[in-house]
Amino acid sequence: MNQNPSSPETEEKLQQLARWIPELRQEIAQVIVGQQYLVDRLLVGLLANGHVLLEGVPGLAKTLSIRTLAAATAADFKRIQFTPDLLPTDIIGTLIYSPREEAFHTRKGPIFANLILADEINRAPAKVQSALLEAMQERQVTIGDETYPLPNPFLVLATENPIDQEGTYPLPEAQVDRFMLKLKVGYPTKSDERAILDRMASTAPQLSVNSVTSLEAIQEARELVNQVYVDPKIRDYIVDLVLATRDPAQFKLDLGQYIQFGASPRATISLTLAAMAWALLQGRAYVIPQDVKDLGMDVLRHRIIPSYEAEAEEISSEDLISNIFDAVPVP
C-alpha cells in the first residue's frame, strides 16, 4: 500500500492534536475508571462529526462519560431525559405568543447545544424520536416557518437500556442509521470495579474536571480528519465490506438467508470517516486496514438487520459481521 506523504502543515497540526488528545484522555480518566473502549469511540465521534448510540445496562457510566467529555472540551451541554409523555416541542422549541406585543416569539429548546445527551432515547414515542431526524442529519431545526442552524460542533450522544423493554419504543431504522457508531458497553473488570468503589463510595464524590481544549481546537481537528490519506485499495476494501452485507454470495459467503437488509451507503461513508478519525487518534495521517477492522463492528452492527432465520438460530448481526470480515480479502 502506498502511503501519501503528509505536508509539513499537516504534520504540525498532527503534533498539536497529539498534545491535547492525551490531556483530554487523562482528564476524563479523573472521573471515568476504565471504559477505554467507550472513551475512544466517543472521541472518534467527536472528531468524525458522527452521532453515537450507546447501549448497555444501567450503572456503566454512559451518561457520566458524556457529561465528562462535555466538561473537558468546554462544550455547551444539554441533557434530555426521554419519557413516554415527551413532546417534539420539548426538544426543538416552540412559538410563544405575547399578548402585549401581539406577536409570536421563538423559544429555542435544549437541542441548541454542542453536545446533546439523549438519555434512554427508546423511552419516547416515534413522534419525538423523529424530531431528532432533521437535527441529526441536516444540523438544523424548523420552528414554525423559520429554520435555525444548530451550533457547530453539534453531536447527539444517545443511550438506551437493552434489558427493560416495558414502556420502550424500538428506534426506527431510519433514525438508527443516522448514528455513525453504536457502542455496546460492558461490565468493568475486577480491578476497575475496585477502583470505582474506592473513588465513588462517598456521599459527595469528586467528579469535577477541567477544560483542556476548546471548540476551535476540535474544529481544527475535524478539518485535519479530511486530510487523512485513504489509499484507493483501502477504499475498495470498505466498499467490498458493505457490499458483502447486501450480497454475501458475491464473496462466497452462505449468509444470504440470514440477512434481511444490508448496510446502506451511509455505512460506507461512516466507516471511512471513522477510520480516518481513528488513524488520527493513533498519531497517523493515513489509514491502514486495521483501522477499518477496529471500527467496523461499531459502524455496522446497527445497520445489518438479521432475518427471522438468523433470529431462530440465535445468529446476531455481530456474528454476521465477523464472518464478513473474515471472508473479504484484506488489501
* Domain ranges, ordered by start, for the chain: 1-8+227-331
Cα–Cα distance list, 225 to 28, 93, 229, 299, 330 (Å): 22, 33, 9, 17, 23
pTM of the entire predicted model? 0.86
- Residue by residue, pLDDT tens for the chain (331 residues) are 444 555 666 677 777 776 778 888 888 877 777 778 888 898 999 999 999 998 877 777 777 888 888 888 888 888 898 888 888 889 988 888 888 888 888 888 899 999 898 888 888 887 888 778 778 888 888 888 888 899 988 889 888 877 655 556 777 777 788 899 999 887 878 888 888 787 777 776 766 777 888 888 888 888 889 988 999 999 999 999 999 998 888 888 888 788 888 888 999 999 999 999 999 888 888 899 999 999 999 999 988 888 888 888 888 888 899 999 998 888 8
| Helix ranges restricted to H, 182-288 | 190-200, 215-225, 232-246, 265-281
The domain 1-8+227-331 is classified under which CATH number: 1.10.8.80, 1.10.287.3510, 3.40.50.2300, 1.10.260.40? 1.10.8.80
Cα–Cα distance list, 238 to 9, 81, 83, 159 (Å): 28, 36, 38, 27
